[in-house]
Amino acid sequence: MAGGDKSNNPVLLQVENLKKYFPIQGGKGNAKWVQAVESVNCFIRKGETFGLVGESGCGKTTLGRTILRLHEPTSGKIIYDGEVIYDGANGKNQPKMLPYRRKMQIIFQDPSASLDPRMTVGEIVGEALDIHNMCKTKEERTNRINELLETVGLNAEQSNRYPHEFSGGQQQRIGIARALAVNPEFIVCDEPISALDVSIQSQIVNMLEDMQEELGLTYLFIAHDISVVRHISDRIGVMYLGNMVELGASRELYDNPLHPYTKTLLSAVPIPDPEVSKTRQRIVLEGDIPSPINPPSGCRFHTRCPYATERCKQEVPEWREIEPDHFAACHIL
Ligand SMILES: Nc1ncnc2c1ncn2[C@@H]1O[C@H](COP(=O)(O)OP(=O)(O)O)[C@@H](O)[C@H]1O
Ligand code: SF4
Ligand SMILES: [Mg+2]
């Protein structure tokens, strides 16, 4: 959480009732849908790190990519820096993304898969500069590539090498240099350290934090493990089966989780302090995560929630501000 309290910063990104369904072919020619993201509401403030957590398959990557319109949303609304960049009510008539592509970047989970193996590092970073006409002369371009490589802890002499000549951590640094090349404002960091050795994970996180402070960046930082984002996030959103179920300041969410699902997630996090540990009961969820192709009715968590009632099976819980700046969707709150 570089740079102190961001809770009064203006909103950079606003997401309203965002939905993303993927079509899949069902039996007998019937189209079915994967309901990957369902009615998500959230906002991200300028300069903050918004941590997005939830189990694998709950829709984190889909939400991140849909916000960037790398996936076209199914419905809902996205507002970036006061401009509507998607409004489902307008059907196919949507704003062009090119002006926003430069401002909104992504760092991928698997660095090796996200770098073209046939391109040198210099070409990879240079391509990003070219797409957005960032440099006027060849010399300016070369200098900028070298500067970017140094910013991410590589050196200029490495610009003629190919991605496979680098370690996983170095490949992720190349991916970060590519994202930074176009002077972005907002970066979706999609589990940028999950594929890396534990020993270098903190180096990458520290580098991202330093850059945030230096360049005033805003991050949507995705992780499947809440303990990864806890310390670096200003606010955290928790997803379950395509829904955002709770959202609050990082500290508040950690100390005072409201939603039954968040409570179970946190109960699984080891607590170093034995006194605190004693007071936190471990809750084990029964059953598997249901399929997003045919999600449970009402509250999607009802099949596994220890507090579920008849109402939960029938009625979708409303997304509400339960306490100031602390949101959740649950009938018993
Ligand atoms: N392109 C796609 N086509 C069909 N289904 C998809 C596609 N991308 C993701 N999904 C499905 O959407 C759900 C959410 O996936 P994802 O967003 O990758 O979750 P997470 O990042 O939280 O692990 C999963 O059930 C996944 O299989
Ligand atoms: S709405 Fe019902 S099923 Fe859903 S989390 Fe709340 S108590 Fe559990
Ligand atoms: Mg993912």
Query: Which of 15, 26, 24 is closest to 80 using CA atoms?
Result: 15
Which ligand has an atom closest to residue 295 CA? Answer: 1
Name the residue type at position 326: H
Check: CB of residue 12 under 8 Å from CB of residue 78: no
Q: Is the Cβ–Cβ distance between 145 and 157 less than 8 Å?
A: no
pTM: 0.94
Given this model, what pLDDT does residue 281 score?
Answer: 67
pLDDT averages per 10-residue partition of the chain, 333 residues? 79 98 78 94 97 95 97 97 96 90 94 93 95 93 96 94 95 95 97 90 94 96 90 96 97 94 85 64 77 95 95 97 97 96
Q: Annotate 229-241 with b (16+ C-beta within 10 A) or e (fewer).
A: bbebbbbbbbbbb
Ordered alpha helix ranges (H), the chain? 60-67, 98-101, 111-114, 121-131, 138-151, 168-180, 198-215, 226-229, 250-255, 260-267, 274-279, 310-314
Query: Could you identify the residue written with the tokens 């500067």?
Result: 147
Cα–Cα distance for residue pair 176/232, rounded to 1 Å = 17
* Residue identifier of the C-alpha nearest atom 18 of ligand 1: 61
Q: At how many degrees (to 10) do helices 168-180 and 198-215 cross?
A: 10
Distance from the alpha carbon of residue 61 to the mean position of ligand 1, in angstroms: 7
Query: For the chain, which domains are there?
Result: 11-98+224-329 (3.40.50.300)
Q: Check if 305 has its Cβ closer than 6 Å to any atom of ligand 1.
A: no
Task: Name the residue with the closest Cα to ligand 1, atom 8.
Answer: 62
Q: What is the pLDDT of residue 52?
A: 98
